[in-house]
């Protein structure tokens, strides 16, 4: 088995995520306590958690949990849902099952690293860069030009990490039709679906639109419950699901029983949780608007379409690497520099950083950031 490269984002977080005083780059919505989640539960849901048996669970995931997950889609029965221990296990399973050394994969850049590293470790891969001058959108003609006779998989992610961009609906349909024509699977990382500012126009789930679409989702991001480690893939191709389920026997085997009960409670109250998390985004975004208005010489700012992340440009003479390094070391403010998102398949931006706005407590971090900038100006 080929050796995977160091996961830059996770390595950076391992050093700083729990050490920095102001985590200003988080991609997940505000988490809640177990007490707060259980306060939403009905008596029946609470009893299901309190009285559960702490044995092995079904590899596919508990039937009632998968039923609740299926209910978040327009047209997916429970048989089309396979649960994983988080989204990363799903990404690993999908790439391992769909690709072999004779395959070819297409990925968008910049992106979450495993969406490039995993296919590129298995087979040949081609990057199609998102265009910052076109709202970080995807050029479908460039995807078409990248297709080869052995192309098996196209991986996309909208709302996009790290830019928060959402692909225009007409381009999304064009991509699906292109892949349908060539018999190519689409792995769509949809873990930020439902999260964003008021008015965000989220895309339909790919599993609802395309017979070879794999919809990846998780409780971590839009729901703000990464501690549960519950993710899933929805797909109409049950043979692919079965092959991923058998691969899961070598990975987590099954999900945590307590996490499944808690995820079921959250999904049964998903509208309340998503409304809460989107309200935090609506509260925080104007604060970033005001900050960037005060510093136009240092930053270029574009409001994202969805999620709780953005990818502004840093224009300082010291460069984004030095800026983010001094920021966390001197002032305890954590951002992700764009080098975290570099690609081995092509050029990616080198002057940007990822910021987050899905959590409470932003005012303290903004004050520390402002003070850092003013000290360095002086």
Classified by CATH at the fold level, domain 8-33+271-377 comes out as 3.90.1150
pTM: 0.96
User: Could you tell me if 105 and 151 are in contact, meaning their C-beta atoms sit under 8 angstroms apart?
Assistant: yes
3-state DSSP: the chain helix, strand, coil percent, rounded to 5? 45, 15, 40
Question: What distance in Å separates the CA atoms of residue 52 and residue 62, rounded to the nearest whole number?
Answer: 12
d(C-alpha 225, C-alpha 349), whole Å: 30
Domains 8-33+271-377 and 55-268 share a fold: no
Beta strands in 158-278 (DSSP E): 185-189, 213-218, 231-235
- Alpha carbon distance 65, 45 (integer Å): 12
Q: Which CATH number fits domain 55-268: 3.30.200.20, 3.30.450.20, 3.40.640.10, 3.40.50.150?
A: 3.40.640.10
Q: Any idea where the domains of the chain sit in the sequence?
A: 8-33+271-377, 55-268
Task: Classify burial at 203, counting beta carbons within 10 Å of its beta carbon; exposed 0-12, middle 13-18, buried 19 or more.
Answer: buried
Bridge partner list, 48: none
* Beta-bridge mates of residue 153: 105, 185
Q: What is the pLDDT along the chain (378 residues), one digit of tens a residue?
A: 578 999 999 999 999 999 999 999 999 999 999 999 999 999 999 999 999 999 999 999 999 999 999 999 999 999 999 999 999 999 999 999 999 999 999 999 999 999 999 999 999 999 999 999 999 999 999 999 999 999 999 999 999 999 999 999 999 999 999 999 999 999 999 999 999 999 999 999 999 999 999 999 999 999 999 999 999 999 999 999 999 999 999 999 999 999 999 999 999 999 999 999 999 999 999 999 999 999 999 999 999 999 999 999 999 999 999 999 999 999 999 999 999 999 999 999 999 999 999 999 999 999 999 999 999 887
């Amino acid at each position: 088995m080929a050796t995977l490269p160091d996961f830059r984002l996770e390595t950076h977080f391992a050093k700083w995520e729990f050490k920095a005083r102001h985590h200003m780059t988080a991609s997940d919505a505000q988490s809640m306590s177990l007490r707060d989640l259980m306060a939403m539960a009905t008596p029946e849901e609470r009893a299901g958690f309190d009285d559960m048996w702490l044995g092995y669970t079904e590899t596919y995931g508990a039937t009632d949990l998968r039923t609740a997950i299926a209910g978040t889609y327009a047209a997916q029965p429970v048989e089309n849902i396979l649960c994983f221990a988080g989204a990363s296990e799903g990404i690993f399973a999908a790439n391992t099952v769909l690709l072999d050394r004779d395959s070819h994969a297409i990925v968008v850049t910049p992106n979450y690293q495993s969406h490039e590293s995993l296919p590129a470790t298995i087979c040949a891969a081609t990057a199609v860069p998102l265009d910052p001058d076109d709202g970080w959108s995807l050029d479908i003609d460039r995807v078409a030009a990248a297709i080869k006779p052995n192309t098996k998989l196209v991986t996309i992610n909208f709302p996009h990490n790290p830019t928060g961009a959402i692909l225009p609906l007409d381009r999304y349909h064009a991509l699906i039709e292109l892949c349908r024509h060539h018999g190519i699977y689409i792995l769509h990382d949809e873990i930020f679906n439902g999260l964003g500012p008021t008015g965000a126009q989220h895309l339909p789930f790919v599993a609802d639109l395309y017979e070879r679409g794999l919809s990846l989702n998780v409780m971590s991001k839009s729901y703000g419950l990464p501690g549960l480690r519950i993710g899933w893939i929805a797909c109409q191709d049950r043979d692919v699901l079965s092959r991923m389920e058998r691969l899961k026997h070598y990975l987590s085997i099954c999900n945590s029983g307590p996490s499944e009960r808690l995820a079921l409670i959250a999904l049964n109250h998903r509208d309340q949780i998503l409304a809460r998390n989107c309200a935090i985004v609506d509260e925080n975004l104007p604060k970033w608007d005001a900050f960037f208005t005060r510093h136009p010489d240092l930053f270029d700012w574009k409001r994202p379409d969805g999620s709780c992340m953005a990818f502004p440009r840093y224009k300082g003479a010291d460069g984004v690497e030095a800026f983010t390094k001094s920021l966390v070391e001197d002032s305890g403010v954590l951002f992700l520099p764009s080098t975290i998102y570099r690609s081995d398949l092509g050029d990616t931006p080198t002057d940007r950083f990822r910021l987050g706005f899905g959590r409470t407590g932003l005012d303290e971090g903004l004050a520390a950031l402002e003070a850092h900038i003013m000290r360095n100006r002086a």
